[in-house]
């Protein structure tokens, strides 16, 4: 007998400091100038997205709340650019070189 366990995908956003948000804005302005027109994510605010597949979202939410209250800032190094596909749309994403700080919690 097979027992089917459903999972849910949770998304968490990490907001970078203001100086990084300003760098992201400058980069988007440069892309706008190079391609000669606006693009869908032009006005979106820069962030880091973490996604977790879980069968117990309430437990994950409680744990993430605990971690978020105690986590100290940590450096992030950008490895390269990648494309994130969602449906027929794509987003340009800065790929993080060392994902270890995210795994330690």
Give the Cα separation of 69 and 74 in Å (integer).
Answer: 14
pTM of the model: 0.62
CA 23 to chain centre: 16
**Residue range 57-80: mean pLDDT, rounded:** 82
Instruction: Read off the pLDDT of residues 2-30 as tens digits, 9 standing for 90 and up.
Output: 666 788 888 888 888 898 889 889 988 99
Say how many Å lie between the first and final Cα of the chain, rounded.
35
Please give the residue that has the higher pLDDT: either 56 or 74: 56
- Strand-pair category, 78-86 with 89-96: antiparallel
Q: Where does residue 6 fall: left (phi above 0), alpha (psi -120 to 50 degrees), or beta otherwise?
A: beta
pLDDT at position 105 is: 46
């Amino acid at each position: 007998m097979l027992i089917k366990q459903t999972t849910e995908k949770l998304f968490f956003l990490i907001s970078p400091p203001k100086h990084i948000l300003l760098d992201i804005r400058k980069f988007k302005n440069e892309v706008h100038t190079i391609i000669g027109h606006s693009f869908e994510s032009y006005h979106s605010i820069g962030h880091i997205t973490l996604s977790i597949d879980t069968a117990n979202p309430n437990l994950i939410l409680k744990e993430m709340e605990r971690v978020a209250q105690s986590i100290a800032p940590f450096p992030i190094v950008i490895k390269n650019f990648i494309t994130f596909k969602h449906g027929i749309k794509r987003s340009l994403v800065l790929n993080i070189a060392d994902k270890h700080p995210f795994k330690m919690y």
